[in-house]
């Protein structure tokens, strides 16, 4: 399983958040693309349009389980994708910003 640590992510790296809507609304990483895992196959085209052509897709969820499944699917499709170890729980614990859609401070639920 290709994996990346939170500490290795830089500002501006492409981040795909596969948590469900209520998790996203509570708080997410600034600039992340949100496609819930439950909608992922149907909305796959949104990812291919938004993802950098020659860049890596960093996939994140709450703790790393769902993002691991999506990462494996993307790798099978020939996309350079990695699972973000520990997910949004580690993101928040590392002091990375978590915001709501309105830009207010958010929380990982």
Chain length of the chain: 109
Of 4, 61, 74, 88, catalytic: 61
- The string of DSSP letters for 18-77 reads -S-HHHHHH-B-TT-EE--GGGTTTTHHHHHHHS-TTSPEEEE-SSSHHHHHHHHHHHHT
Is 61 annotated in the active site?
A: yes
Residues identified as active-site: 61
């Amino acid at each position: 399983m290709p994996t990346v640590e939170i500490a290795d992510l830089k500002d501006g790296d492409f981040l795909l958040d596969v948590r469900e809507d209520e998790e996203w609304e509570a708080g997410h990483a600034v600039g992340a693309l949100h496609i819930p895992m439950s909608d992922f196959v149907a909305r796959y085209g949104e990812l291919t349009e938004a993802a950098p052509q020659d860049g890596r897709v960093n996939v994140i969820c709450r703790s790393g389980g769902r993002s691991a499944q999506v990462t494996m699917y993307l790798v099978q499709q020939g996309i350079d994708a990695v699972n973000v170890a520990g997910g949004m729980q580690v993101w928040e614990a590392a002091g990375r910003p978590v915001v709501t859609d309105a830009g207010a401070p958010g929380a990982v639920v």
